Amino acid sequence: EIGELEREFFDYGQSGTWYPLSCIPRHKVAVIIPFRNRENHLKVILKVLVPMLRRQLLFYTIFVIEQDSPLIFNKASLMNAGFKEASMFQNYDCYIFHDVDMLPENDRNFYTCSHVPRHLGAFVDKWDYIIPYIDLFGGVTAFSYNHFLSVNGFANSFYGWGGEDDDMIMFRKLNVTRYPIAIAKYTMIKHVSDDGNPNNIKRCHQAFIFRPKLYKNDGLNTLQYKIEKMEVRPLYIWFLMSLPPQPRYLTKQTKTTTKNT
């Protein structure tokens, strides 16, 4: 249970933020986890991330950004909203966008930023630790504050599963860096399909049709959300958010059934 984790990691950092007392940390990191209906996954990832981040001697805050409505999940907008809200808490120099089902396997996988955006979650057990295609960019990614602003964040138009991460590579012309496979291995927690997160089967088509024209006007500068609740909890800061409904021109681009990864 989350309460057991809170007791296990009880410390002076009881506001979602922790930092070492033995040294001055070189990095301030915001870990942003978009989330809905995955309580068990959240427990597991916190049990892995909290001790790892502390061993890395980071100044960090974990933000759990939960979607209340609409029915169709929009991970991109939650990540954008998490970035905006986190930026008002601290002057973080690195923002980690983290799927709730991705578990790092190695402490040397440092949760810090580079001179270019970093793809942390590149080598996943589900794909036998092989990158399945060259433009893969998702799972766990790291941006400096200025990098994320310069690309206008993620595209809010990706409702349903898939597309928002790779869109970063295709149309923002990003150069990215990855740690070596020996370091950057992840285990993906297995889970069943979620009716509220349908497979966006036309996500690539959607990207090529809409993104070249809209990417400068679809992101942080057009983000809309409403904070329904906010709580500062011992291990993370929790937001419950409502997003706009899926635009009509995108409603035919998602299935009603799903097979998530």
Q: Is 32 helix (H, G, I), strand (E, B) or coil?
A: strand
**HSE (side-chain half, CA atoms, 13 Å) at 137:** 22
Per-residue pLDDT at 132: 86
pLDDT band, residue 255 (cuts 50/70/90): very low
Q: What is the pLDDT of residues 70-98, one digit of tens each?
A: 988 999 999 999 999 999 999 999 999 99
Mean pLDDT (whole number) for 205-214: 50
Helix and strand element counts for the chain (H, E): 6, 11
Report the chain's mean pLDDT, rounded to a whole number: 84
Per-residue pLDDT at 163: 74
Per-residue pLDDT at 261: 37
pLDDT band, residue 208 (cuts 50/70/90): very low
Per-residue pLDDT at 228: 98
Per-residue pLDDT at 184: 93
With beta carbons less than 8 A apart as the criterion, state whether 87 and 145 touch.
yes
Please determine, for residue 239, whether its predicted confidence score (pLDDT) is greater than 50. yes
With beta carbons less than 8 A apart as the criterion, state whether 13 and 50 touch.
no
CA distance 153 to 215: 9
**Domains of the chain by start residue, with CATH:** 2-243 (3.90.550.10)
